Amino acid sequence: MSKIQEALRRLQKGGGQPPKTHGADATLTHRRLPESVIPIVRKKKIAIDGEKFHLDESQLIRRGLLAPLDHAIPVADEFRRIKRPLIDNATKHSEKHEDHMNLILVASACPGAGKTFCSVNLAASISLERELNVLLVDADVAKPHISDAFGLSDRRGLIDILEDETISIAEVLVRTDLNDIQVLPAGRKHNQSTELLASERMEEVMHELATRYADRLIVLDSPPLLVTSEAQVLATQVGQIALVVETGKTTNQDIQEALELLDRDKAINLILNKSLYSQTNGYYGGRYGYGTYGFNEDQ
């Protein structure tokens, strides 16, 4: 049994620590309402400290994108556990994984596993760190869920800076009033987005993001690995990958196929999402498991 399979087996059982892992399992609860009753986030820019873009936290929670940050809510606690090894990897700069370790791609094998949910909550949790800033990149340029939900779909973003080299990253970053999280929107739709993401300009942009601000962690929400080629291209640019596994849906074969598309020298992290379901007074529950690996079987 491979290390990944063994770790998954343990995560799914919810017991014990997989080998070479950090973090732990915990129960989460967060309230979700039917999509039909959820109002759209208002596109409102308000003057808080000048230029911060307003995000309505309660609406993001109701849309199922954000779990409450209150420490008493287990999901927030769980993301505290999930972020820790990612932060450690990014800040320690171990020799093997030092390249772009502050760039974290949130990926999955198949659609709907919870990448966007995990990206937003991970970013929100990292933003609570005193010494760290966080940049959330909507790198799912074909299905820009974050840009849409945040009310940033009409903004310039990643695709624009890739296409037009005269546009700087700083020009398109959006600073929000949600814990000061910065967002790089997906930008305009482009029929050659895969080529743009695979371009030299993309390498430059990612390198600039990785090196310019040493105190910044960059969380990238990606499309699914087995459905598009874009996620695979994005994975080459980052030091860390958080692979979201959807309990009961993502099969071991899906995971293996997804892993085969990734560079085994990257730090591969697993997030087991939606692994417990319970309902009490309109609350949904889930369970996260987490493991981080040097994926190389020879290690």
Ligand X SMILES: Nc1ncnc2c1ncn2[C@@H]1O[C@H](COP(=O)(O)OP(=O)(O)OP(=O)(O)O)[C@@H](O)[C@H]1O
The binding site for ligand X (CB under 6 A) comprises 64, 108, 111-117, 140, 143, 145, 224, 273-274, 284, 286
What's the closest the beta carbon of residue 262 comes to ligand X, in angstroms?
17
Burial 234-258 (b: 16+ CB within 10 A, else e): bbbbbbbbbbbbbbeebeeebbeeb
DSSP 38-94: PPPPP--B--STTTPBP--HHHHHHTTS-----TTSHHHHHHHHHHHHHHHHHHH--
Residue closer to ligand X by CB (options 21, 116) is 116
**Binding Mg ion by CB under 5 A: which of 116, 176, 232, 275?**
116
Distance CA(283)–CA(77), nearest Å, equals: 17
Name the residue number minimizing CB distance to ligand X. Answer: 64
CA distance 100 to 215: 13
**101/238 with CB nearer ligand X:** 238
115 is a site residue for Mg ion (CB under 5 A): yes
274 lies in the site for Mg ion, by CB under 5 A: no
Query: 86 or 122: whose CB is closer to ligand X?
Result: 122
Q: Which stretch in 84-92, 138-146, 150-158, 183-191 sits in contact with Mg ion by CB under 5 A?
A: 138-146
Rg (CA), the chain: 18
Nearer to Mg ion, 85 or 223 (CB): 223
| Least distance (Å) between residue 19 CB and ligand X | 25
Interface with Mg ion (CB under 5 A), residue total 3
- Using CB under 5 A, which residues numbered 252 to 271 contact Mg ion? none
Side chain identity, residue 104: I
Number of neighbours of residue 51 by Cβ within 10 angstroms: 11
Residue corresponding to tokens 């310019």 = 212
Residues that bind Mg ion (CB under 5 A): 115-116, 145
